[in-house]
A and B are shown apart, each in its own frame.
Chain A
Amino acid sequence: MTVLLSEQRPIKSSEDVVGIRQAVRQRAIELGFNLIDQTKIVTAASELARNTVQYGGGGAITIEGLDDGGRRGLRLTFEDKGPGIPDIQLALRDGYTTGGGLGLGLSGARRLSSEFYIDSRPGEGTRVTIVRWR
């Protein structure tokens, strides 16, 4: 698997979340994603970027374009050094929230992605990686 491009951006505010949506859209278009796939990965990115701001106290995203034997994909990694998630299974459940939202951010982003990985340590931070293949 080859990484075609890699870009890192800070996520500190709700304005940054908008910038990330636009950057992810642009990369998805460059990789030849159709409109529905673009919309899905952009929406997943929006949910996860908001989580980074809201729960992680800010962090960063790495956007990577992938080529796996001709198959193109977009990999997004969200990292923060926030309080971490004590119970990941619970956090992944639809409707579970500690922030007063709908509790669809994490579970919804997982449904919108082809691959989903989460690594979180209490007191150290959280890293969520998603991949959407074309």
Chain B
Amino acid sequence: MERIPILKMGEYLLVTVQVDMHDRLALTLQDDLTAKIVQAGAKGVLIDISALEMVDSFMGRMLGDLAAMSRVLDAETVVVGMRPAVAITLVELGLSLTGVRTALNVERGMDLLKARIKERRQNDGSA
């Protein structure tokens, strides 16, 4: 079965979506990623969508759900690399990806994840 690979790097999971996803593939990714967060005890998830030429409401919802699910599983998610034409279209479609953290590229996304995780550890320590 067709699957999108999930790479583990320390306490992070990296996903690079390279193919035009059909709906079932998007849902499989959701299942695989949540399972992998638990299995690996991941603290951060980075999803690179720079290869995607469009994001429609289904994929937008999938990304939003994924961010919410990972939060419940004690991990932060950042979506990176959205193309400008995709961003323009997504907002006109009526979707603003509320609740999804985004960064311009992988590098900035990793910085954001590290900062968020550090912040959470400090809060945990002081509580």
A binds B: yes
> Which A positions have Cβ atoms within 8 angstroms of B?
13-15, 17-18, 21-22, 25, 35-36, 38-40, 42-43, 46-47, 50, 94, 101-102, 104-105, 107-108, 111-112
Residue in B23, B24, B56, B90 with the greatest tally of chain A CB atoms within 10 Å: B56
Q: List the A residue with the shortest CB-CB distance to B20.
A: A18
Q: Does B105 contact A (CB under 8 A)?
A: no
Q: When each residue 18-59 of chain B gets 1 if its CB lies under 8 Å from chain A and 0 otherwise, what string results?
A: 001111100000000000000000000000000001111110
Contact B93 A108 (CB under 8 A): yes
Contact B22 A102 (CB under 8 A): no
Assembly CA distance A108 to B90 (angstroms) = 9
Partner of B89 from A14, A43, A94 at Cβ < 8 Å: A43
Chain B, interface residues (CB within 8 Å), range: 20 to 34
Partner of A39 from B22, B58, B88, B95 at Cβ < 8 Å: B88
For residue A39, which residues in chain B have a CB less than 8 angstroms away from its CB?
Answer: 53-54, 85-86, 88-89
Additional A-B contact list (8), CB under 8 Å, known A39-B86, A111-B93, A112-B93: A14-B24, A17-B23, A36-B88, A39-B85, A101-B57, A101-B61, A102-B61, A108-B57
Q: Does B81 contact A (CB under 8 A)?
A: no
In the assembled complex, the CB of A37 is this many whole angstroms from the nearest CB of chain B, namely: 9
Partner of A111 from B23, B55, B94 at Cβ < 8 Å: B94
Q: Does B107 contact A (CB under 8 A)?
A: no
Assembly CA distance A21 to B88 (angstroms) = 18
> Which B positions have Cβ atoms within 8 angstroms of A?
20-24, 53-58, 60-61, 85-86, 88-90, 92-95
In the assembled complex, the CB of B21 is this many whole angstroms from the nearest CB of chain A, namely: 8
Assembly CA distance A36 to B91 (angstroms) = 12
Known: A39-B88, A42-B54. A104 touches B23 (CB 8 A): no
Known: A15-B22, A17-B22. A104 touches B57 (CB 8 A): yes
Assembly CA distance A108 to B55 (angstroms) = 12
Contact A36 B20 (CB under 8 A): no
Contact A102 B56 (CB under 8 A): no
In the assembled complex, the CB of B58 is this many whole angstroms from the nearest CB of chain A, namely: 6
For residue A25, which residues in chain B have a CB less than 8 angstroms away from its CB?
Answer: 53
Contact B53 A101 (CB under 8 A): no
Contact A102 B85 (CB under 8 A): no
Assembly CA distance A112 to B21 (angstroms) = 21
Q: List the A residue with the shortest CB-CB distance to B85.
A: A39
Assembly CA distance A29 to B20 (angstroms) = 17
Q: List 7 A-B contacts (CB under 8 A).
A: A36-B85, A39-B53, A39-B54, A47-B57, A47-B93, A104-B95, A108-B92
